[in-house]
Amino acid sequence: MKKQTIDTRPAGPKPWYDPRVRSLFFQAVAIALVFWGGWILVDNTLSNMESRGISTGFGFLGETAGFGIIMNLVPYDATMSYGRTFWVGLTNTLLVSAMGVVAATILGFIIGVARLSSNWLVAKMALVYIEVIRNIPLLLQIFFWYFAVLSNLPSPRQSVDVGGALFLNNRGLYLPDPVTQEGFGIVWGGILLAIAAVVGIRIWAKKRQLATGQIFPTFKVGVAILVLVPIISYLVAGRPLEWDLPALRGFNFGGGITIIPELAALWIALSLYTASFIAEIVRSGILSVSKGQTEASKALGLPNGLTLRLVVIPQAMRVIIPPLTSQYLNLVKNSSLATAIGYPDLVAVFMGTTLNQTGQAVEVVAITMAVYLTISLLISLFMNIYNRAVAIKER
């Protein structure tokens, strides 16, 4: 008889007890459930729409819209398609969002710095602004600027006249419209050359400062180049620019550029409201920088302005940027409140009038959601890239 041997080696761990296997399993189950739920939602929606005789698809985008829009950055009239109304609404949304981001950032940084001012009056005024503006609902602020301020401006015949070129009334702000003539390409070339020269001087000045310690007046020289070079190019090209001045024609103004009161009210409200939050973000970012940094800069004889610009703000940006990104996203999404005062943004034009006339609710809402999602993701992407660029790198 053969002697039986017994394997006394310990059994290997079962796959179920491996954290990596369990993690992959649960992730696969979660993904499967998401796709299953999405398929059920789409299938039920299509079935319900078919049973009610509602057509599906995006063919409606090629149909004639048949309605006018009070403001458009791209060419549009009532004979164009619903697809063109989408682009009109999108460009209007991007316009007010971009204007709001720029204004809110500048104002927010100024108020945030003023909040920490050693001047008691300046600091308290900044505090009052922040506490008042951010605690009033944004929609009410939009109504205030539109109905209480801009709607009470004088009529077109009694417009506020500034030099015969700028007119302000309850129908908007009318500005001269620059009309380029033949040869203006030389001016554009001068502008691009000036920008390239400023960038080159900045790079050279930074290298020179690191090598010798000498500071070059980059800002003053850059401003001089950006102003003088385009002016010289304009004169060399023979002044290829004319101005289309607004003029009263009947009951309203014609010509020039018109800033409608709906755009102005929405822009002012969005900028002031978002700036109040950005100011607190800037204040917290500055306070996150060690006081030793400020004391060291003062010991070197740096004035307060240079200390703030060269020492404090660069270190505070790593704290400021993440919440600042959230405020930019909130501003873009809050711009959809434009429909309350009739500003023709994407929600008012496309998800409002276009949806009501076509009845394509699923397609219109899906497109609108995709647009806001794309804008938000792009803002996050650019801000993350900038955040990595300004992050303090360990040596």
Neighbours of 361 (CB within 10 A): 13
pTM of the model: 0.84
Residue-wise pLDDT tens digits, 324-361: 999 999 999 999 999 999 999 999 999 999 989 988 88
What average pLDDT does the structure give for the chain? 88
Q: What's the pLDDT at 2?
A: 53
Alpha-carbon span 155 to 168, nearest angstrom: 9
Residue-wise pLDDT tens digits, 216-245: 888 899 999 999 999 999 998 888 888 888
- Please say if the pLDDT value at position 12 is more than 70: no
Neighbours of 220 (CB within 10 A): 9
Alpha-carbon span 343 to 110, nearest angstrom: 29
| Pair type for strands 172-175 and 177-180 | unpaired
Residue 164: pLDDT band with limits 50, 70, 90: confident
> Which of 20-24, 211-215, 231-235 has the highest average model confidence (pLDDT)?
231-235
Residue 252: pLDDT band with limits 50, 70, 90: confident
Residue 3: pLDDT band with limits 50, 70, 90: low
Q: What is the CATH number of domain 80-165+259-388?
A: 1.10.3720.10
Lowest-confidence segment of 26-30, 188-192, 248-252 by average pLDDT:
248-252
Residue-wise pLDDT tens digits, 61-73: 889 998 999 998 9
**How far, in whole angstroms, is CA 80 from its chain's centroid?**
28
Residue-wise pLDDT tens digits, 117-154: 889 999 999 999 999 999 999 999 999 999 999 999 99
Q: What's the pLDDT at 348?
A: 93
Residue 234: CB partners within 8 Å, gap ≥ 6?
187, 190, 240, 241
Lowest-confidence segment of 57-61, 77-81, 232-236, 265-269 by average pLDDT:
57-61
The string of DSSP letters for 42-57 reads HHHHHHHHHHTT---S
User: What DSSP designation does 289 have?
Assistant: S
Average pLDDT over residues 92-101: 95
Q: What's the pLDDT at 142?
A: 95
Q: What's the pLDDT at 51?
A: 74
Alpha-carbon span 324 to 328, nearest angstrom: 6
- Please say if the pLDDT value at position 199 is more than 90: yes
For residue 245, give both structure tokens: 């001045």
